[in-house]
Amino acid sequence: MKLYTTLEKQLKKEPNFITDNGELKKWVIIDKARIFDEQLLVLLLDNSELKEKFFIQVKGNLHFNQNKFIAFLEQKNYLNNSYTQYKNKVGLTIDGKYIKQRNEVALVWPFKDCILEGGQSREEDKREEIFFNEILAQDEITQLLEPKVLTNAKRIDKDGENPLDQFNRNDNGTITDNLIVKGNNLLALNTIKKEFAGKVKLIYIDPPYNTGSDSFHYNDTFNHSTWLVFMKNRLELAKILLSPDGSIFVHCDDNEVHYLKVLLDDIFEHNFINTITVKTKVGGVTGSSEGKSFKDSTEFINVFAKDKKQILFNPIFQLTPLYEFIKSYEEQDKSWKYTSVITTLEGKTKLKESNGYCFYGYSSFKSKSVKQFAKDNNISEEDVYRKYSDKIFRTTNAQSSVRKTVINETQDCDYPIISVEYSPIKGKNKGNKIEVFYKDTERNMLMFLADMIIEENDIVYYKEKISTLWDDIQYNNLSKEGGVDFPNGKKPELLIKRIIELTTNEGDIVLDYHLGSGSTCAVAHKMKRQHIGIEQIDYGSNDSTVRLRNVVEGDRSGISKDVNWQGGGSFVYLELKKYNQTFIEQIEEATNTDSLLQIWEQMKAKSFLNYNVDIKKQSEHMEDFKALSLPEQKQHLCELLDKNQLYVNLSSLYDSDFNCSKEEKKITKDFYQIKK
Ligand SMILES: C[S@@+](CC[C@H](N)C(=O)[O-])C[C@H]1O[C@@H](n2cnc3c(N)ncnc32)[C@H](O)[C@@H]1O
C-alpha cells in the first residue's frame, strides 16, 4: 500500500481530522504537527510504516521528523491544488539566510530537490508539469529514471536505412555509432548514462529559454523555479557523462542567464571558464514593451569544465581583413606594433641541441620601419604588409616556459639573435616544428606578422585569439542550413563549429540533449566527431533525422565548404519505448468527448493509473466529467496516468504486459550489453 493511503487511513481514525465530506483536514493536521500534538503523534506511532517514515531513533529515543511530515502533507496538497503556498520562497539564500545577511551566494528555490520530467511531445503542448519529490516518493523516482527499453532502431547511411541488429563498439567496448535518441531527455540521459559516463568530451545545449512563449509559460510565478528544476535534473546527469577533460556550453538569453550561472556554479563546483556573449539578429521591441526595454541583440553561452585543471582548449582565431584591422587600431588610438621589417638576417649557425630543442644563432640582423621600406621600394604600405609579413616583426617579453628555457640555455651565446625550434607535445600545433626568435641583448622575443595572418580567397586576414565576444557569426539566412526549417532557435553551424573546434578533436564524443533541428549533430558529423543527439519532438519533414540524412548524403549548406564535406558516415536512430506516453499522445490527438471516453476505457484496461485514482469514483462522476470543456477533459485524463510509466523500463523487458518484440529485446540487450 502506498504511504499516502496508509497515512490517510490512519489519520481518518481521529474524527477531528475529517471534514463532513470525509476528506482529511490537512491544514488542521499540519497545525497539530507544528505543536507536536500528542494525539497525532500517537496515531502515527501506532502504525509501523508511518513510525519508520516520520520518526528517527537517536540513542534509543524516538524523535518526530516534523519537517518531513509537514512537507509530505504539503506535497500532496500541491499535487492536488496549487503552488501558491511556495510563492514567497524564491530567492538567493544560503543556509536559509538571504544573501543580504551573508557574503556568499547560493541559489535556493522551491522544489529544488524534486525531479521535473518536463514532457512535451508536440511543440504547441504546454503541459502542466509534475514535480516528483526525491525524499518522499523515492521508489517512484527510481522507476521514472530507470533505463528504458529501446525500439524502432535503425542505421541510416548513404544507401538508406536498415533495421539495426547490433551496435558498433571500440576496443574498450564503448558504442562508436552516432546516435539520435527520440524521447524525453531526462529519461534518455538516464538511459545512456552507464554506456557513456565519463566519455563525453563536449556537451552543447540550447534549452528552451523560458521566455514566456515556450513550454514553461503555464505558471508565471514559478517560471524561474520550474525552469531551474528542469535544468538541474539534467545538468547533474550531464556532469556524470562528461570526461575528466570535458566541458559544457549552455546557451541561453538574458531571461535566465544569471540564475543559470549560479546553478552551474553549484553543480560544476565552481569550474567556471567564461560567459561568452554572442551577437545575434537584432530583435524587435513592439506593442506594450515599446519605450520600456531595449532591442535584444545578444545571447549568452556559459562555459564550464568538469575539471578546470584538465581543460585545454584548441587555439581558435577571429579573422579581420589585415589592413582594416590596422586602420581600426589607428582609429582607436592604439599603437600597432608590427612596424619593423627585417632587411638582413644572415649567418644561421646551429649552436646546440638540448632537451628536444634545437638552438640556432644569426650573425647579423638589420631592420627598417614599414613606412621607410615602402618608400624605398616604391610600393604601398598595404603591399608591404601583404608581401613581407614573414619579415615584419614586433618584440615582446619572454614569458612562457619555452621562452624561459631558451633564455637559460643560451646564456653563454653572444649572437645578436637566437632562434629555437621545438615541437609542442599538446594542442593544435602538436608535432609541428615551431621556430621562435629572440633578440639577444634584451632577451626580447620577436614575433612575426606572418604567424598572425591567414590568406583566404585572396584576402589577407589578421587572426586574433578568440575572446568572449562573438560578434562575427551571421545569424541571417539560417533557414537554408541543413535543409530543414526550424523558426524557433536554430543555431548557426559556424557557431557550433567554433565550439567543437575549441573543445574536441576528431573521434571525440559530442552530446546535445536539446537537439531541435539537429545543428550540433550535423556539424559534429561533418567534423568527424562521434555525436549523440536527444530530442523529444518529432518535427516531421524538418526533423533532425532528415537533416542528418542530408548530411550523410553530402549536404552543401552551413560549414560544408569550410570543412570540404563530401558526405558519408552513418547514424543510428532509436526511440525509448513508450507505454503511458502513447495514451497521452492519443489524448492530445482526440477531437471530441466520445473519443476521450473510448481512450478512458482502454486506459482502465491497459494503462498504469496514478496510485490514488479510484476507478469506481471516476465512473460515478462521469456526468461531471462530460460537463467539462474538452481541454479540461484532456487534462483530467492525463492527470490520471502514472507518469512513471510513460516509457517501458528495462526491468520490464520480459514482462508480458509490455509486449516487447523480438527485435526490441535484441537491440535493448545489445545496448546494455546484457548477455543472457
Ligand atoms: C531551442 S531548441 C534547440 C535548437 C537547436 N539548437 C537547433 O539549432 O536546432 C530546444 C529544443 O529542446 C527540446 N526539448 C525541450 N525539452 C525537452 C525534453 N524534456 N526532452 C527532450 N527535448 C526537449 C525542444 O523540443 C526543442 O526542440
The secondary structure of 33-51 as a DSSP string is HHTT-HHHHHHHHTSHHHH
Q: Give the pLDDT confidence score for residue 216 in this predicted structure.
A: 54
Provide the residue type at 540 as one letter.
Answer: G
Find out whether 209 and 253 touch, Cβ atoms under 8 Å: yes
Residue 140's SS3 state is helix
Atom of ligand 1 lying closest to residue 209 CA: 1
Q: Grid coordinates standing for 59? A: 540513542
Query: Residues 6 or more apart from 233 whose CB is under 8 A from it?
Result: 115, 116, 118, 186
Pocket lining: 216 vs ligand 1, CB cutoff 6 Å: no
Pocket lining: 140 vs ligand 1, CB cutoff 6 Å: no
183 CA from centroid of ligand 1 (Å): 11
563 CA from centroid of ligand 1 (Å): 26
Best of 127, 233, 301, 535 for a ligand 1 pocket test (most atoms within 8 Å of beta carbon): 535
536 CA from centroid of ligand 1 (Å): 7
- The residues of the chain scoring below 50 in pLDDT are 1, 76-89, 100-103, 217-221
Residue 108's SS3 state is strand
Pocket lining: 558 vs ligand 1, CB cutoff 6 Å: no
Q: Give the pLDDT confidence score for residue 378 in this predicted structure.
A: 95
Name the residue among 408, 435, 407, 431 with its Cα closest to residue 421: 435
Q: Give the pLDDT confidence score for residue 93 in this predicted structure.
A: 62
Atom of ligand 1 lying closest to residue 230 CA: 19
Torsion of Cα atoms, 284 then 289 then 295 then 296, to 10°: -90
Atom of ligand 1 lying closest to residue 204 CA: 6
Provide the residue type at 668 as one letter.
Answer: T
Cα-Cα-Cα-Cα dihedral sign, residues 588, 593, 599, 605: positive
518 CA from centroid of ligand 1 (Å): 9
Q: Give the pLDDT confidence score for residue 425 in this predicted structure.
A: 66
Pocket lining: 547 vs ligand 1, CB cutoff 6 Å: no
Q: Give the pLDDT confidence score for residue 218 in this predicted structure.
A: 42
CB atoms within 10 A of CB 559: 22
Provide the residue type at 89 as one letter.
Answer: K
121 CA from centroid of ligand 1 (Å): 11
Q: Give the pLDDT confidence score for residue 88 in this predicted structure.
A: 39
Find out whether 473 and 498 touch, Cβ atoms under 8 Å: yes
214 CA from centroid of ligand 1 (Å): 10
Q: Give the pLDDT confidence score for residue 31 in this predicted structure.
A: 82
Q: Give the pLDDT confidence score for residue 649 in this predicted structure.
A: 92
Task: For residue 558, give Cα distances in angstroms to 225, 491, 664.
Answer: 36, 11, 36
Pocket lining: 494 vs ligand 1, CB cutoff 6 Å: no
Q: Considering the entire predicted model, what is its pTM?
A: 0.74
CB atoms within 10 A of CB 10: 16
Per-position DSSP letters for 380-441, written without gaps between them: -HHHHHHH-TTTEEEEE---SHHHHHHHHHTTT---SEEEEEE--SSSTTTT--EEEEEETT
Give strand ranges (E) for 477-544. 509-512, 530-535
Rounded Cα distance, 154 and 176, in Å: 15
Q: Report DSSP state, residue 484.
A: -
Q: Give the pLDDT confidence score for residue 286 in this predicted structure.
A: 59
Pocket lining: 239 vs ligand 1, CB cutoff 6 Å: no
Nearest-CA residue for atom 2 of ligand 1: 516
